[in-house]
Chains A and B, each alone.
Chain A
Amino acid sequence: MFGKRFTFPGGIKPKSYKELTKNCPIESLPEPKSVLVFFHQVIPTGSSAVPIVKPGDKVKKGEKIGAGEGKISSPVHSPISGIVREIKEFPHPVLGRKSLGCLIENLGDGETALLPENLSPWEKIREAGIVGMGGAAFPTYLKLNPPKPVDTLIINGCECEPYLTGDFRVMVEYPEEVLLGAKVMAEILKAKKVIIAIEEDRKEAIESIGSKIKSQNSEIKFQLVISHAKYPLGGEKQLIKATLKREVPSGKIPYEVGVCVQNVQTTFAVYEAVFCNKPLYERVVTVSGDGINKPKNLRVKIGTEIKEIIDFCGGMKDGVEKIIFGGPLMGIAVPSPSTPTLKATTGILLFTRKKEEPARDCIRCGRCVSVCPMHLLPSILYQMIKNEEFAKAKEEGLLDCIECGCCAYTCPAKIGLVESFKMAKAYGK
């Protein structure tokens, strides 16, 4: 009914497992007894927010506790009303090192602090501490201040990682809010066109957004684009290629081709900040995997220990071996059930023990080459890295790797391809 399906060359089609949670309406997790909010909520290369509260201070829900100072940083707010118990370094789940966190004990007082009324939409987005909620966590206000003109805003509703359905549920339940958020961002960007991209198997989301798009009465042109269900379509570069046939130059970001891409939940958070003056202190998280008793989509306060979330979902099954923040293809395995969630935590997946096959020698089958969405030669890159030829690997596109994991997923010899690319990139820095 919406014409041809959009796609890009390469990629994989793993089993989606979305049926576990796609019909689970968003539920709110009861207020946690305490939260551990990290001041570092942006991308790893960004800088931490600076604490503006101290132990013993009483804070309201939504009150700013960390100021966004530094080049890539964003303010942090208290997700609950309570008392600051501790501010010290805790192990950060994504940075892989200790980082400053704020432990707040819930006092059960429901009063909420709102953003100042007299701010412009862009200032509200900055003050609300909104970051890319698809997993990348780049500060949204920076993304909405492009150095070059942008003609198209793409709302990324592809959610191509298996298991995750949070963005899907937001689109099903809050289509008007998402469209309003998109409109605000398009106005800030002075973009003439908004594309909302959804994968073809998300029928309810397509219907929900589609029916509301028709009633849009705006100078900005809204377009619903339905794409093939393929991973990693949600990757910015793949999405831009699929929907607009534009290629972001190597080493550059989407502005170069006049595009800005924003995730669905980021868009929803923009709506809440601009229209309800609400800072970003909670988000929808998909709790799923074969290790959880009752998979759910939950609205969770940032900084909630995953133990509480797991208990609310009927507890974990015996033999859970891995807890993952995000999807199974790019998500990060966290070391303990006491890890707190972050602004960019899209999902919490619990996987039970599976026999992992040991890696062996490459048989040169070329499957990694055929799935690489960046058209790299993963097996050759791997060989170069093994031989410590880092300069050569860079020439062959090591830094163009988006770490989507398609190559490692598909490798019949079970070689840790992405793993070696990540380590080589880190080594090169």
Chain B
Amino acid sequence: MENKITVSFSPHIRDRVNVEYLMFSVVVALIPALIGSVYFFGIRALIIIILSSLSSLLFEGLAQKAFGRKITIGDGSALITGLLLAFNLPPNVPYFIPIIGSAFAIIIVKQFFGGLGYNFINPALAARAFLVVSWPSFMTKGFLPPRFGSLSGIDGITQATPLTLLKDTRLMNPTAYPKLVSQFSSLPVLKNLFFGSVGGSLGETSAFLLLLGGVFLLINRVIDYRIPLSYLATVFFISLFHKIFFQNAVSPLFHLFSGGLILGAFFMATDYVTIPITPKGRVIFGIGCGILTMLIRLFGGYPEGVCYSILFMNVLTPFIERYTKPRIYGR
């Protein structure tokens, strides 16, 4: 008996939550939006999701083997990257796009920097940014009309995302713009936006389904409420002030539910590795994302700003972290 006794440091009990628990909770939280994407965009969406996920897992394993690291494809992190990348792609992209994207996300952004825990920007978003500059036509024109319902009433809009349409109309057809703004602020359009019957990237169209997953993650304390809350609140208030001070501004709700904001706020701006670990830092991170998103949407060259604002804030993370250390008890 005696020689079997272990002597080790305290604590002698550990929480049951481990890396797999956290990662697979995120995977579970993405399932409603995954089902939604297949519902709205058909079997093609499923094929893209499968291609992206499987290639992410494959590249993770291959890269880890090549670098002589432990194979950890079972931890769920590569699967999340694959799913999120697919969610960020237009439904009509060629099938090599998710594969190239996964290779970029996993091999270059994640494994080149040391694997899970060491990459400094979000792999899925970095891959999306890379794909947008490399294959701009596939990435900006591959949108499909949703199968059931749509923004309704305006010709041709089903080929574009609501944000693209808004920006294009403002720049190229100023006379039609006020009408579009009032239409986009109307209840039926906002309802379609909320539930997801609009054109857009695979997994980003349904704010409702993404919120289901996001709330699940918040309740299970898998993600911190600070970033989604400060991000969404910042977007809401900026678009509210915009609406108050400028004629022809869409409803703040339009900004909340369009583009990848909900997806970004709950699933990508909360990626542990690339955000500050300090509570205050997370609030600043969220506010920064919100300000940048609205700057890009309102004044920038792109219709949508979630991807670039999160990537930009990822780069600022070490800096934010350094200046937001909590005050140590008693100091």
Binding site for B on A (CB under 8 A): 12, 14, 162, 237, 241, 247-252, 320-324, 328-338, 349, 351, 356-357, 360-367, 369-370, 373-377, 379-380, 396-397, 400, 403, 405, 408-414, 416, 418-419, 422
Contacting pair A362 B117 (CB below 8 A): yes
Q: Which of B18, B115, B326 has the most CB of A within 10 A?
A: B326
Q: Is the CB of B2 within 8 A of A336?
A: yes
Selected from B5, B12, B282, B328, the residue in CB contact (under 8 A) with A329 is B12
Residues of B129-181 at the interface with A, using a CB-CB cut-off of 8 Å, are none
A350 shortest CB reach to chain B, Å: 10
Segment at the A interface, from B34-42, B54-62, B273-281: B273-281
A-B contacts, 26 listed (Cβ < 8 Å): A12-B15, A237-B329, A322-B12, A331-B10, A333-B5, A333-B6, A333-B7, A333-B12, A357-B14, A363-B77, A363-B272, A364-B117, A364-B273, A366-B224, A369-B326, A370-B279, A374-B328, A377-B325, A397-B328, A408-B14, A409-B11, A409-B15, A410-B15, A414-B14, A414-B18, A416-B9
Instruction: Check if B272 sits within 8 Å of A366, measured CB to CB.
Output: yes
Q: A336-B5, A369-B326 are in contact. List 19 more A-B contacts (CB 8 A).
A: A237-B330, A247-B330, A321-B6, A322-B5, A329-B11, A333-B6, A333-B8, A333-B12, A361-B115, A361-B118, A364-B273, A364-B277, A366-B272, A366-B276, A377-B277, A377-B278, A377-B326, A409-B15, A412-B21
Chain A residues with Cβ below 8 Å from B331 are 249-250, 397, 400
Chain B residues engaging chain A, CB cutoff 8 angstroms: 1-2, 4-15, 17-19, 21-22, 72, 77, 114-118, 224, 272-273, 275-279, 282, 325-331
In whole Å, how far is B276's beta carbon from the nearest beta carbon of chain A?
8
Residues of chain A contacted by B2 (CB below 8 angstroms): 336-338
- Compute how far the CA of A331 lies from the CA of B115 in the bound complex, rounded to whole angstroms: 35
Identify B17's interface contact among A249, A322, A410, A418, CB under 8 A. Answer: A410
The residue of chain A having its C-beta at the shortest distance from the C-beta of B328 within the complex is: A397
| Chain A residues with CB under 8 A of B14 | 356-357, 408-409, 411, 414
Which residues of chain B are within 8 angstroms of A12 by Cβ–Cβ distance? Answer: 15
Q: Are A252 and B117 in contact (CB under 8 A)?
A: no
- Within the complex, which residue of A237, A335, A351 is in contact with B12, where a contact is CB–CB below 8 Å? A351
Minimum CB distance partner of B118 in chain A: A361
Contact between B278 and A369, CB atoms less than 8 A apart: yes
Are B277 and A247 neighbours in the complex by a CB distance under 8 Å? no
Name the one of A324, A336, A357, A366 contacting B18, with C-beta atoms under 8 angstroms. A357
Query: Chain B's nearest CB lies how many Å from the CB of A95?
Result: 14
| Nearest B-chain residue to A336, judged by Cβ | B2
Contact between B7 and A412, CB atoms less than 8 A apart? no
What residue in chain A is nearest B3 (Cβ atoms)? A336
Residue among B19, B115, B273 having the largest count of chain A Cβ atoms under 10 Å: B19
Inter-chain contacts of B279 with A (CB < 8 A): 366, 369-370
Contact of B19 among A351, A380, A412 (CB under 8 A): A412
> Chain A residues near B325 (CB, 8 Å)?
377, 396
Q: Which residue of A lies closest to B11 (CB)?
A: A405
The interface residues of chain B lying within 8 Å CB-to-CB of A411 are 14-15
Given contacts A250-B329, A412-B21, contact A369 B272 (CB under 8 A): no
Instruction: Say yes or no: A328 contacts B11, CB within 8 Å.
Output: yes
